[in-house]
Structure 1
Amino acid sequence: MRSVAVFCGSSDGNDKEIVKKAYQLGRTLSDYNMALIYGGAKVGLMGRVADGALDESGEVIGIIPDFLKSKEIFHDGISELIVVESMHERKTKMHEMSEGIIALPGGFGTLEELFEMITWGQLGLHQKPIGILNVNGFFDEMLHFIDSMVSKGFLKQHHRDMLLIDESCSGLLDKMVAYQPAFTPKWIKKEQT
């Protein structure tokens, strides 16, 4: 894996450990010789991940919609900044340029990006590893809810298992590097199960 798309908050939140872990993820990606593909901003967790990678001389590619670039929240110290027309085009480009996906804490946008990547994997549109850096249990309630989707028959366990979860940066990246996708078509006949 040579590049990882990171989806995360455009704010820092109020947990200093999450901010530290975002910065550490950027450093760890560089230590693993993996390029960071991210949303291009200098603010929030996005900026912290980029700063961590840059401080380790890592490659950082930002992808930002033009309307956000015009608000001057873009990071001007990164390796490359790609300007696109829309949020959807940003997400698609991040997916195309990456070989793995990581979600850090964030808000609605981060969750939307994570769940679209999971859905694309579930549908067989990609077989990239999808990681969640679960700092201080930030994603615990969401993961509990996902487990209830399995127990209530709305999600297959092997699709739930596509999510790789760890509290440490290196632990998560190790799981992602070792990931072997077990592709099963979403719609199969009952007699095939």
Structure 2
Amino acid sequence: MYKFSSICVFCGSSFGTSPVYREQVKKLGSLLAENKVKLVYGGGNSGLMGELAHAVMSNGGEATGIIPRKIYEQVDHLELSELKIVDTMHERKALMYELADAFIALPGGIGTMEEMFEVMTWNQLGYHLKPLGLFNIDHYYDPLHQMLYHMYDQGFVKKQHLDQTVIQENAVELLQRLNQQEVTSIDKWE
């Protein structure tokens, strides 16, 4: 049993170049449904985002999509447990963060990175103490991991902040490690 009942997942609205991304995202969606962990996500039906929500819903799980009106009017939609339409991207992210007990970033593009970094920043500044995991499918996050530790080496990030982010290549192990992860407040300026 997990200590979190909902996970916000950031992911691409494209499939990427490797079929392994889709395969692993389907596994994650099935795991969330089987373990009764509610998915909170961006509300879209395309790419990995849609694949994940479809896997959750088709396995009897719950998914809440949060989508800005502008995007809602441009994309197709899945039948979800709940779809919330908001006016801005800022509202979308704030509501996603509020509804989630933990976060996972899947492979994705600029939007995925922006959301993931904002969660890391909020943790670093003490706005929340919720665990974040990077689902390192096919070593997608290896270059980012190197960059983050380069930031540490250069004195811009504390190692304790970096160590609070779980990086894992296996969905089962990712969820287990997120469940065990203790996120503590660390003074950024000390």
What TM-score do you get using the length of structure 1 for normalisation? Answer: 0.95
Aligned residue in 2 for 1:15: 18
Aligned residue in 2 for 1:89: 91
- Of the three residues 54, 68, 71, the one matched with 2:71 is 68
The alignment covers a number of residue pairs equal to 187
Aligned residue in 2 for 1:162: 164
**Post-superposition shift, 1:73?**
2.9
3-state SS of 1:25 partner: helix
Identical counterparts, % of pairs = 39
Which structure has the larger Rg?
Answer: 1
**Post-superposition shift, 1:55?**
1.6
Root-mean-square deviation (CA, aligned residues, Å) is 0.9
Residue identity opposite 2:68 in structure 1 = P
- Of the three residues 39, 43, 46, the one matched with 2:42 is 39
Superimposed CA distance per residue, residues 3-61 of structure 1 (whole angstroms, 9 cap, x where no aligned partner): 00000000111110011111111111112210000011110000011011112100000
Superimposed CA distance per residue, residues 59-118 of structure 1 (whole angstroms, 9 cap, x where no aligned partner): 00000000111113332x111100000111111110000000000000000000000000
3-state SS of 1:116 partner: helix
**Post-superposition shift, 1:182?**
2.7
**Which consecutive unaligned segments of at least 5 residues does structure 1 have?**
189-193
The CA distance in 1 between the partners of 2:155 and 2:188, in whole Å, is 13
Residue identity opposite 1:153 in structure 2 = G
Whether the 8 Å contact between 1:4 and 1:35 is mirrored in structure 2 is: yes
**Which consecutive unaligned segments of at least 5 residues does structure 2 have?**
none
What TM-score do you get using the length of structure 2 for normalisation? Answer: 0.96
The CA distance in 2 between the partners of 1:73 and 1:98, in whole Å, is 24
